[in-house]
């Protein structure tokens, strides 16, 4: 069979990081080719290069499609030669009908006016093709996520797609919908459509893939082939995590853990907007003087779990119990948790953690102004002293505490975020991806701080996508997948393969 796509020596750099390092990737016409790898392995970046999101010149290497070197300037260029990409976040207009969505930008015309009748008629054909039994005039907002996905695929088919790229299409689907989608991919294959499928769910990969290419740390590791019977679960996991652990973790004094500080029982979080459970029957606990890791891949429900516990600011329907020091706790507002001595350092430090427009000092003191106030009046001198202490202790590199947080580097912003939550004197600290996007030196500093805090008896919940980090720091590890806690591992028994098995089960 002919190679429909060759990506040769693709290298793409972001400031400070090599996201893709000399990647080679080949796809044959009419196959279903899966692309797997850990978070941050470079899968999505590679697909963005392929679809023209990163234009030619922005990366080095060649894209050869249909035996011709392609130089895309934007997504339109890739669409022109019948490549379509479907992201996790759909590019649909929720308030428009299905037919408007499918034919937006390429409507049928008659005498310079849009021929809506023909458009609707054609839409019915494409909906039949993807087995979607919904009226074309239905608004997209009124159908579920699974059906929206089918609309996206119908849209791609309406443009006579040759190469269909799906970025984690089943992440938001239930099992039934996922199976239907896989069936559809097989059907499309018979029609001659080639698919590239990015997925974390290795079972469905085994089920559907003709070939599997594994990426790790921006490099192609290997390509497995159905014909040689090499697409095996263990092999994939081994290749995904097979790196040597090179990060260094500071040594922690051996301390005996204390009583249970925080316990979560039978927690369920349902999102009415997404119409599915983000967290299901979660149970976990953390002792004083213990670091508990929560591992899992993107979308496993870890942040949702933390937010549901921490006062549920996104207004999910939450059921379950939270116990602080064995006492039941109301957890319907963040304030209740803060007052009880629980702090949550958000994974999204710019969006949910910090006020970028304000200075370091105001950010640090925000969640506990009462401690530096009398009768609601802030004692500014106390405030300065308090903020200065954290600047020194956590080594926040800033010209002064009057500096706007906006002007700080990622690592220093993270330290401000951490300071802010240490300023509330918590005894339970939930850290959500505390080292995301910061450099190695700052990472090491954060790890040292974590160790100091545990030594003081704090209970720490460490949510992280980086397996070495979880393995290097946690005393006990919970692994999440599809909103449920799939298993618990002690530091001794845990290794990358075991975690990945639970995370992709």
Partner 1 sequence: MTYIKNYFKELRVLLKENIRDYGMFIALGIIMIIFAITSGGLFLGSRNISNLLNQTGYIGVLSVGMTLVIIIRHIDLSVGYVSGFIGALSAILIVQYNLPALIAIFLVTIVGIFIGLWHGFLVAYMKLPAFVATLAGMFIFRGAIQQTLRGTGTIIIDNDLYRAISNGYIPDIASYPNLHVLTLILGIVGVLIYIIFEIRNHRIKKSYDFEVLTKPMLISKIAFIGGLVMLLSVSMATHRGMPWTMVIVFTVVLIYHIMMNNTILGRNIYAVGGNPEAAELSGISVKKITLFVFASMGFLSALSGIMFASRLQSATVTAGRLFELEAIAGAFVGGVSATGGIGKVTGSLIGAFVMASLTSGMNLMGVGSAVQFIVKGAVLVIAVIFDVRTRKEGK
Q: Is 117 a residue that touches partner 1 (CB under 8 A)?
A: no
Please identify, using beta-carbon distances, which residue of 143 and 429 lies nearer to partner 1.
429
Question: Mapping DSSP to helix (H, G, I), strand (E, B) and coil, where does residue 285 land?
Answer: strand
Confirm or reject binding of residue 407 to partner 1 (CB under 8 A): yes
- Does position 329 bind partner 1 by CB under 8 A? no
Query: Does 332 engage in binding with partner 1 (CB under 8 A)?
Result: no
Cα dihedral sign, 195-200-204-210: positive
- Using CB under 8 A as the binding rule, whether residue 410 contacts partner 1 is answered as no
260 makes contact with partner 1 (CB under 8 A):
no
Cα–Cα distances (Å) from 334 to 131, 358, 378, 406, in that order, read 44, 21, 22, 25
Residue 327 or 375 having the CB closest to partner 1: 375
Interface segment toward partner 1; rule CB under 8 A; list 92-100, 139-147, 400-408, 461-469:
400-408
Least Å distance, CB 307 to partner 1, is: 9
Give the separation between CA 172 and CA 80, rounded to whole angstroms. 29
The residue range among 265-273, 306-314, 445-453, 495-503 that interacts with partner 1, by the rule CB under 8 A, is 306-314
The yes or no reply on residue 352 touching partner 1 (CB under 8 A) is: yes
Asked if 178 and 276 count as a contact pair (C-beta separation under 8 A), the reply is no
Footprint of partner 1 on 280-299 (CB under 8 A)? none
Q: Does 341 bind partner 1 (CB under 8 A)?
A: no
Minimum distance from residue 23 beta carbon to partner 1 (Å):
36
**Residue 333 binds partner 1, judged by CB under 8 A:** yes
What residues have CB less than 8 Å from 408, skipping those under 6 apart? 360, 396, 397, 398, 416
Q: Within 242-333, where are the H helices?
A: 302-309
- Residue 311 is a binding residue for partner 1 (CB under 8 A): yes
DSSP 87-140: -SS----TTSBHHHHHTTTS--EETTEE-HHHHHHHHHHHHHHTT--S-TTSBG
Closest CA to 431 of 452, 399, 459, 390: 459
Residue 128 as a binder of partner 1 (CB under 8 A): the answer is no
358 binds partner 1 (CB under 8 A): yes
Q: In the range 374-393, which residues lie near partner 1 by CB under 8 A?
A: 376-378, 380-381, 384, 388
- Pattern 474-493, partner 1, x by CB under 8 A: --------------------
Question: Which position has the token pair 């060649």?
Answer: 62
| Site membership for partner 1, residue 495 (CB under 8 A) | no
Stretch that binds partner 1, among 190-198, 251-259, 373-381, 438-446 (CB under 8 A): 373-381
In order of 9, 84, 103, 144, 175, the CA distances from 141 in angstroms are 41, 22, 17, 8, 21
Map residues 67-86 to x or -, x wherever contact with partner 1 holds by CB under 8 A. Answer: --------------------
Q: How far is the CB of 24 from partner 1 (least distance, A)?
A: 42
Whether residue 216 contacts residue 37, with contact meaning beta carbons closer than 8 Å, is answered with yes
Residue 370 beta carbon to partner 1: minimum distance, rounded to whole angstroms: 7
Nearer to partner 1, 72 or 423 (CB): 423
The least distance separating partner 1 from the CB of residue 422, rounded to whole angstroms, comes to: 13
In this structure, the number of other CB atoms found within 10 A of the CB of residue 242 comes to: 13
**Residue whose entry in the numeric block shows the structure tokens 């080292």:** 435
Q: How far is the CB of 391 from partner 1 (least distance, A)?
A: 12
User: Which residue's CB is nearer to partner 1, number 430 or number 449?
Assistant: 430
367 binds partner 1 (CB under 8 A): yes
Tell me how far, at minimum, the Cβ of 406 lies from partner 1, in Å: 6
**Ranges of H-type helices in 95-252:** 98-102, 116-129, 145-158, 175-190, 202-208, 233-241
Our finding on whether 420 is near partner 1 (CB under 8 A) is yes
* Residues 165/196, Cβ–Cβ less than 8 Å: yes
| Site size with partner 1, rule: CB under 8 A | 38
CB of 396 to partner 1, least distance (A): 16
Among residues 16 and 351, whose Cβ is nearest to partner 1?
A: 351
> Helix or strand or coil: residue 324?
strand
| Distance from C-alpha of 370 to C-alpha of 204, rounded to nearest angstrom | 52
Helix/strand/coil for 46: helix
């Amino acid at each position: 069979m002919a190679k429909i796509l060759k990506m040769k020596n693709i290298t793409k750099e972001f400031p400070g990081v090599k996201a893709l390092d000399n990647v080679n990737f080949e796809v044959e016409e009419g196959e279903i080719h899966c692309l797997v790898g850990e978070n941050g392995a470079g899968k999505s970046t590679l697909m963005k290069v392929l679809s023209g999101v990163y234009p030619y010149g922005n990366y080095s290497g060649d894209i050869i499609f249909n035996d011709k070197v392609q130089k895309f300037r934007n997504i339109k260029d890739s669409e022109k030669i019948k490549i379509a990409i479907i992201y996790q976040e759909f590019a649909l207009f929720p308030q428009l009908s299905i037919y408007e969505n499918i034919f937006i930008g390429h409507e049928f015309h008659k005498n310079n006016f849009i021929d809506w009748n023909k458009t609707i008629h054609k839409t019915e054909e494409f909906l039949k093709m993807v087995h979607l039994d919904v009226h074309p005039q239905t608004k997209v907002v009124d159908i579920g996520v699974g059906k929206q996905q089918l609309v996206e695929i119908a849209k791609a088919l309406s443009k006579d797609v040759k190469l269909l790229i799906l970025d984690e299409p089943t992440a938001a689907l239930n099992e039934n919908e996922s199976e239907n989608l896989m069936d559809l991919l097989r059907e499309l294959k018979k029609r001659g459509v080639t698919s590239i499928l990015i997925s974390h769910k290795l079972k469905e990969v085994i089920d559907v893939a003709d070939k599997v290419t594994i990426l790790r740390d921006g490099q192609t590791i290997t390509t497995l082939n159905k014909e040689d019977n090499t697409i095996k679960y263990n092999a994939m996991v081994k290749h995904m995590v097979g790196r040597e652990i090179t990060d260094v973790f500071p040594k922690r004094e051996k301390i005996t853990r204390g009583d249970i500080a925080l316990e979560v029982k039978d927690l369920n979080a349902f999102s009415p907007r997404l119409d599915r459970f983000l967290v299901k029957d979660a149970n976990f606990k953390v002792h004083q003087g213990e670091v508990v890791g929560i591992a899992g891949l993107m979308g496993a429900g870890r942040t949702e779990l933390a937010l549901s516990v921490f006062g549920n600011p996104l207004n999910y329907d939450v059921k379950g119990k939270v116990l602080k020091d064995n006492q039941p706790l109301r957890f319907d507002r963040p304030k209740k948790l803060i007052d009880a001595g629980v702090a949550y350092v958000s994974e999204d430090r710019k969006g949910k953690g910090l006020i970028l427009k304000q200075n370091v000092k105001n950010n640090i003191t925000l969640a506990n102004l009462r401690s530096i106030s009398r009768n609601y009046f802030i004692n500014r001198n106390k405030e300065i002293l308090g903020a200065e202490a954290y600047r020194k202790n956590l080594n926040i590199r800033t010209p002064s505490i009057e500096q706007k947080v906006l002007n700080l580097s990622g690592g220093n912003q993270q330290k401000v975020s951490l300071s802010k939550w240490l300023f509330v004197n918590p005894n339970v600290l939930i850290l959500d991806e505390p080292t995301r996007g910061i450099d190695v030196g700052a990472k090491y500093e954060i790890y040292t701080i974590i160790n100091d805090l545990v030594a003081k008896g704090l209970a720490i919940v460490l949510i992280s996508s980086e397996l070495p980090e979880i393995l290097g720091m946690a005393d006990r590890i919970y692994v999440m997948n599809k909103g449920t806690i799939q298993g618990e591992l002690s530091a001794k028994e845990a290794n990358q393969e075991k975690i990945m098995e639970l995370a992709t089960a």
